[in-house]
Amino acid sequence: MVVTLGSRRRRAALRTAAFMSPWLIGFAVFFAYPLLSTVYFSFMHYDGFRPPSWSGGKNWVYVFAHYPLFWPALRNTLWLVLVMVTLRVLFGLGVGLLITKIKTGAGVFRTLFYLPYLAPPVAATMSFAFLLNPGTGPVDSLLEKAGLPAPGWFNDPAWAKPALTLLALWGIGDLMVIFMAALLDVPAEQYEAAELDGASPWQRFRYVTLPNISPIVMFAVVTGVIQTMQYYTQPLIAGKVASGVIQGAGTQFEPGYPDKSTLTLPQLVYNLGFQRFDYGSACVVALVLFALSMAFTALLMRRRGGLIQAGD
Amino acid sequence: MPEVIPSAARKAAFALTVSLALLTTACTGQSGTGATDDASKDTTINFWHAWSAPNEVKAVRSLVAGFEKAHPNIHVNVVGNMTDDKINQALRSGGDRAPDVISSFTTNNVGKFCSSGALVDLGPFFRKSGIDPAKTFPKAMNEYTRFEGNRCAVPLLGDAYGLYYNKTAYRKAGITAPPKTWSQFETDARKLTIPQGDGYEQLGFMPDYHGWESTTEHYFAQFSPTYFAKDGTSDLAKDPAFEKGFRLQKRLVDELGGFRRLERFRATLGDEWGPKHPFHTGQVAMQLDGEWRLGMAEAAKPKFEIGVAPLPVPDDQAAQYGKGYITGTIAGIAATSHKQNAAWEFVKYVSTDTDAVVGFANDIHNVPSTLAALKSPKLKYDPRFKTFLDIAADPDSTTTPASVNGGQYLVTIQQFGYDYESGKVTDLKAGLRKTAAQIDTDIAQAK
């Protein structure tokens, strides 16, 4: 039987496609379809009950020009991405560095720092709302006893996001473990060589540790940005608990209590799509999230190139 | 030194980012149609409701048992503890396991359910059965179960809002009777307030819009406002009732210590549904609340005698003293149901059969939702509960009308209320105009 070059190539291509099919199916179902349908519905009037109808750019105009919660939510999300992610990475790295230096009892400290990460987000947020309660919480009582100003935390628009950041820093266990693994993986001979060259501790960190762990730093930042873009549970629960208003028959819950300070973009997707039955506008917000995620990731990828070159 | 991440890995990172961002935000769905069926044949219908407490679940079981006894050929598969989100999803998807009959704790979605056709118009069913909803249900309940001429829901027990007061604190303050007008209320609230340091030993009334049930719509009901003009636009800036309501609340906030002080005090108080509710503990002497508070307050064994009265009315509406805000649970038939006639038999029984409604109200401790049930001698209640029965039956009692985008207009008004009470907004008239324009924009977007 004569096998031509063309048929061999076709067979190889089919084989490749067969091996790739699980990924291709997953990509089509979980990525391509949601993306395309989100773009499609962003141009449609769709309430989930009646068939969708074309609305042109009406949803886009509404979200950007008339939806009063959009800009506060965007500002809050960007604040959290810039401040919370940065502090989480720095704190995680700092704790990781400290724990790798501890000679005795390191296991205990690792466990202590990792445990909060295992706490369910709802329970953890409710606990923080209790601890930081400006009237009855122990934190403000201690601050007052120490003669320091006692913030309103989740009840004060100026302090709500810093309080959420504290909560995020408390649950730093995931980053600590990753950074610890990366730090322990840095070749000891590089530190020895640097010491022989008279490098200071800061120079050893800057020119040995940081370049070695930079892929991990990048991973922590990128995943941190993605998680923060989807930040939903903690601000919602904190706002609800602090407001003291539980949505019931005939009552309305104000998203983002206090004064929209805990409002994030994913909450808007829920508010528009599932409370107001405006799926088109919800899809617009989802696409804004998508664009922001892409922009941040692209920016970080570029910056990482610069970081490695500087380390070289 | 590590190498730069290869191009493939970079693309994978992008794909991961995009997938994660979109997985939580994908938008899909479908609509469905209804069907006819023979309600005299043996059939099973699905009933989804939101009650979850053991005594409530038992009450629903008892209600269903009564129906099945009266209609031996129709069996009811009861599914409890269903939130509105789950109900909405099921109404869109349909199917054999989807509900034929739903009930929701909130009246907010009636506008959407009616206008979208998610729940069937019950008007023809009522006519077929010879029942006039206007003569069956109290006025406010009749109003919140329909939207633009479409009656897609029925009231299934109701909630009436009134004034709870601490009789012991009243006596100490020399107050002999609950206030009937807002000006009397203001005086009493001041008399009952005992400051202590930065907070209060006892606060006469918590006026803040975050003060549990003291929301804008509950206050404004006493002013009988018109939320929407005939053309469907917001009447917020035109009906003086709203301005009066906002000004009254702001006066109370200022007179009782100011927004910051009240909010700080509020943060120290127990939550709405727990035994440490500030009215139970005596920290707040008067409370705007629903009929359920009586049972909850008595269960907390307070160290004072509880009094109940209708909420005050504006001084120029003194003749209407006795009215209040009315809301409640609603029920309806899914448009996707293929057993709508059987479902109607069930809906008709639970919402219009006097004994069924009375029995359910006795078990759940809510206000009955038919005029006949409100007068039924079989109704068991604490004598003070009678106040709420009277509020529910009062023709001047009001509710918040259904809207095409749910309760969004109420959220917008409430949001403006927060800005006004906190002093963030000082020009009330301009604020009302802006808020009305926002409500109109939101409704136009939903249509």
Residue A89 placed within a domain: yes
Best residue in A67, A139, A232, A252 to probe B by mutation, most B CBs within 10 Å? A252
> How many domains does chain A fold into?
1
- ipTM > 0.85? no
Alpha-carbon span A154 to A234, nearest angstrom: 11
Q: How confident is the model at residue A77 (pLDDT cuts 50, 70, 90)?
A: very high
Q: What does the pLDDT average to over A31-53?
A: 92
Burial of B94-116, coded b for 16+ CB within 10 Å and e otherwise, reads beeebbbbbbbbbbbbbbbbbbb
Residue of B nearest to A312 (CA): B1
Min Cα distance A108 → chain B (Å) is 32
Q: Which residues contact A214 (CB under 8 A, 6 or more apart)?
A: A304, A307, A308, A311, B2
B159 to A279: CB separation less than 8 angstroms, yes or no: no
Strand partners, B103: B331
- Residue B77 DSSP one-character state: E
Q: Would you say residue B347 has pLDDT above 90? A: yes
Residue A58 placed within a domain: no
Facing residue for B18 by CB, picked from A245, A274, A293: A293
Min Cα distance B314 → chain A (Å) is 22
Facing residue for B266 by CB, picked from A215, A244, A274: A244
Note the pLDDT of residue A242: 87
Range of the domain at A227: 70-235+297-311
A49 to B424: CB separation less than 8 angstroms, yes or no: no
Parallel, antiparallel or unpaired: strands B199-205 and B284-290: parallel
Note the pLDDT of residue A312: 47
Min Cα distance A107 → chain B (Å) is 29
Q: Would you say residue B54 has pLDDT above 50? A: yes
Q: Using a CB–CB cutoff of 8 Å, tell me whether A242 touches chain B.
A: yes
Q: Using a CB–CB cutoff of 8 Å, tell me whether A19 touches chain B.
A: no
Note the pLDDT of residue A105: 84
The encoded tokens of residue B175 equal: 């107050």
B271 to A226: CB separation less than 8 angstroms, yes or no: no
Q: Would you say residue B25 has pLDDT above 50? A: no
Q: Would you say residue A190 has pLDDT above 80? A: yes
pLDDT digits (tens, 9 = 90+) for A222-263: 999 999 999 999 999 999 888 876 655 445 566 788 889 999
A230 to B20: CB separation less than 8 angstroms, yes or no: yes
Q: What does the pLDDT average to over A182-186?
A: 94
Tokens 């800009």 -> residue: A71
Q: What does the pLDDT average to over A51-77?
A: 95
Phi, psi of B47 (to 5 degrees): -120, 120
CA angle A48, A53, A58 (to 5 degrees): 100
Tokens 């907010």 -> residue: B108
> Which residues of chain A are within 8 Å of residue B18 when distances are taken between CB atoms?
31, 35, 290, 293-294
Best residue in B7, B23, B25, B409 to probe A by mutation, most A CBs within 10 Å? B25
Alpha-carbon span B434 to B447, nearest angstrom: 20
With 0-12 / 13-18 / 19 or more C-beta atoms within 10 angstroms meaning exposed / middle / buried, residue B248 is buried
Q: Would you say residue A1 has pLDDT above 80? A: no
Q: Would you say residue B168 has pLDDT above 60? A: yes
Q: Which range has the top average pLDDT, B96-100, B171-175, B289-293?
A: B171-175
Residue A171 placed within a domain: yes
Q: How confident is the model at residue A14 (pLDDT cuts 50, 70, 90)?
A: very high
Q: Would you say residue A117 has pLDDT above 70? A: yes
Q: Is B313 helix (H, G, I), strand (E, B) or coil?
A: strand
A248 to B446: CB separation less than 8 angstroms, yes or no: no
- Identify residue B149 by its one-letter amino acid code: G
pLDDT digits (tens, 9 = 90+) for B102-114: 999 888 889 988 9
Q: Would you say residue B366 has pLDDT above 70? A: yes
Note the pLDDT of residue B123: 93
Residue A29 placed within a domain: no
Q: What does the pLDDT average to over A10-34?
A: 92
B267 to A276: CB separation less than 8 angstroms, yes or no: no
Residues 184-213 of A with CB under 8 A from B: 211-212
Q: How confident is the model at residue B324 (pLDDT cuts 50, 70, 90)?
A: very high
Residue A172 placed within a domain: yes
Q: Is B149 helix (H, G, I), strand (E, B) or coil?
A: coil
Alpha-carbon span A230 to A41, nearest angstrom: 20
Q: What is the CATH number of the domain that holds A231?
A: 1.10.3720.10
Average pLDDT, chain B: 89
Q: What percent of chain B has pLDDT over 70?
A: 92
Residue A138 placed within a domain: yes
Alpha-carbon span B423 to B411, nearest angstrom: 18
Q: What does the pLDDT average to over A201-221?
A: 93
Q: What does the pLDDT average to over A34-40?
A: 94
Note the pLDDT of residue B44: 96
The encoded tokens of residue A145 equal: 């006893």
Phi, psi of B115 (to 5 degrees): -70, -30
The answer to whether residues B333 and B120 touch, using CB atoms and an 8 Å cutoff, is yes
Q: Would you say residue B24 has pLDDT above 60? A: no
Facing residue for A62 by CB, picked from B91, B266, B445: B445
A252 to B23: CB separation less than 8 angstroms, yes or no: no
A222 to B17: CB separation less than 8 angstroms, yes or no: yes
> Which residues of chain A are within 8 Å of residue B277 when distances are taken between CB atoms?
none
Note the pLDDT of residue B112: 86
Note the pLDDT of residue A306: 52
Facing residue for B406 by CB, picked from A251, A277, A305: A277
Q: Is the dihedral of CA B177, B182, B188, B194 positive or negative?
A: positive
Note the pLDDT of residue A3: 62
Total beta-carbon pairs less than 8 A apart between chain A and chain B: 207
Q: Would you say residue B95 has pLDDT above 90? A: no
Residue of A nearest to B263 (CA): A155
Phi-psi region of B31 (alpha: psi -120 to 50; beta: other; left: phi over 0): beta
Could you give the C-alpha distances from B215 to A124, B180, B209, B257, in angstroms and in order?
Answer: 29, 20, 5, 19
Phi-psi region of A228 (alpha: psi -120 to 50; beta: other; left: phi over 0): alpha
Residues 84-113 of A with CB under 8 A from B: none
Q: Would you say residue B187 has pLDDT above 60? A: yes
The encoded tokens of residue A226 equal: 């993605």
Residue A155 placed within a domain: yes
Kindly list the structural domains of chain B, giving each domain's residue range(s) and its CATH number in brackets, ordered by start.
Answer: 43-159+327-393 (3.40.190.10), 160-325+404-446 (3.40.190.10)
pLDDT digits (tens, 9 = 90+) for A144-159: 899 998 898 998 899 9
